[in-house]
Amino acid sequence: MNKIQKPKLDLHGTIELEGSKSILQRLILISLFLKDELRVTNWSSSNDVTEMSKAVGVESTEKDVLLSVSCLQDTIHIDESATALRFLVTYASLNEGKKTSITMGKRLAKRPHDILFDLLRKLGAAIDVIDCRIDIVGSKPTLKSIDVPANVSSQYISALLLCAPLFENGLTFKLIPPIVSKNYIELTIALMTTFGITVSYEENVITIPPKSNYKDINNFTCEADLSSAIYPLCVGLFSEKGIGVTPISNHTKQPDFVFWKLLSDAGADIKLHYREDSEEAVLISKLTDYDGFTFDAMRAPDLVPALALLALFADTESMITNVDYLKNKESNRVVGIVNNFKLLGADIEYNDSTLTIQPLSDNPNSVTLDTQNDHRLAMVFYIITLMFPQVSINERDSIGKSYPHFIDDIANLK
């Protein structure tokens, strides 16, 4: 199949990214167990972090935030952040006698939460769900072992892990495979270790020791959000001078770091440049040809929309496997990718939980892409509008969920 000439964008520069949403949301939950204040550098203005921080009484748009000794509010509203909802429901459910009412957005209410709620009920919590409201009466957990289905979301496991101090007798998780986003579980454990809790993770069994407690540390610098980094890096692969994102930690545990390794192996010009006498680096991508690739979405499902975009301009066919887990994200991302790519004229097939994408063979017609109010689809489709001015998207507001400065950051590139 003939492919079109790769679009070239006259954009160049370096983008300073805010802190990782995944790390900061975990940190907010940990802060509920600390005895002293914790100063956090490189905060995030994303809706996901803002919604969760408000639930513990923290409201700030500054780069440095002081997490004071606080408690979970009795009445909470979570708009569309599944992570915030699942983390806070778990904390509320495991605190004996605590009564909490949590309301949520209509789209979030339709996403799967029953596995977590059932687990928490087994641990003793009373949880009533009425439309978009969850009423909780917490209970002190007494079970020492529990089987956890791991094929829908790793957030259930992370939520329980982060509440380790509430399991006074310890707890053993037996994960029922397949395990989605295993690297996010490892990210959770790494952060818990930083705050003094040792967790054993062997094969499909995770063990929290009895009487686990977090230790206080004075300051925490949050590394850049690699889930956000992938979108400027996608733009960079169509830039002759290149686009960089910083700061990238040399020791990052963020799952989306696999993005640059995958594309580098496919021949893309995307490289880490370490700063002198520093553990930080700039990750830079430049215009280049690259081969088609195969990617297992179970490793890092949030990468799929961006990788699907790049597959349109690869030299050969690309395949993304195990994509059925994307049907229960902010939208049904499988449907969103397939339908909108077909509008562009792309040759894309979905069979047996696999997306097969051929290089784009012709310039798209004038079409409007439907983001489904999904922040990751919106950013990918926005990049397409930069390449093809005849293409538009139906909304941009959803981008604020994870990367509110994305469009401005791209606009500020020279």
Question: Which candidate, 95, 125, 77, places its Cα nearest to that of 33?
Answer: 95
What beta strand segments (E) does 250-340 contain? Answer: 269-274, 280-286, 294-296, 318-321
Structure confidence at residue 309 as a pLDDT band (50, 70, 90): very high
C-alpha 390, offset from chain centre? 30
Residue 1's pLDDT is what?
Answer: 56
Does residue 170 contact residue 199 with C-beta atoms inside 8 Å?
no
Q: Model confidence over 335-386: pLDDT tens digits?
A: 999 999 999 999 999 999 999 999 999 999 999 999 999 999 999 999 999 9
| pLDDT average, residue stretch 193-198 | 96
Residue 158's pLDDT is what?
Answer: 96
Structure confidence at residue 203 as a pLDDT band (50, 70, 90): confident
Does residue 356 contact residue 349 with C-beta atoms inside 8 Å?
yes
CA atoms of 12 and 328, how far apart (whole Å):
36
Report the mean per-residue pLDDT for the chain.
93
Considering only 13-17, 114-118, 278-282, 310-314, which range has the smallest mean pLDDT? 278-282
Instruction: Please state whether beta strands 354-357 and 368-369 pair in parallel, antiparallel, or not at all (unpaired).
Output: unpaired
Residue 162's pLDDT is what?
Answer: 97
Q: Is the pLDDT of residue 332 over 70?
A: yes
| pLDDT average, residue stretch 319-325 | 93
CA atoms of 246 and 249, how far apart (whole Å):
9
Q: Is the pLDDT of residue 2 over 80?
A: no
CA atoms of 94 and 124, how far apart (whole Å):
8
Phi, psi dihedral angles at 4 (to 5 degrees): -75, 160
Residue 247's pLDDT is what?
Answer: 83
Q: What is the DSSP letter of 351?
A: E
Structure confidence at residue 266 as a pLDDT band (50, 70, 90): very high
Whole-number percent of the chain with pLDDT over 90: 83
Structure confidence at residue 403 as a pLDDT band (50, 70, 90): very high
Considering only 144-158, 171-185, 215-229, 272-286, which range has the smallest mean pLDDT? 272-286
Instruction: Please state whether beta strands 294-296 and 348-351 pair in parallel, antiparallel, or not at all (unpaired).
Output: unpaired
Q: Model confidence over 43-73: pLDDT tens digits?
A: 999 999 999 999 998 888 788 999 887 789 9
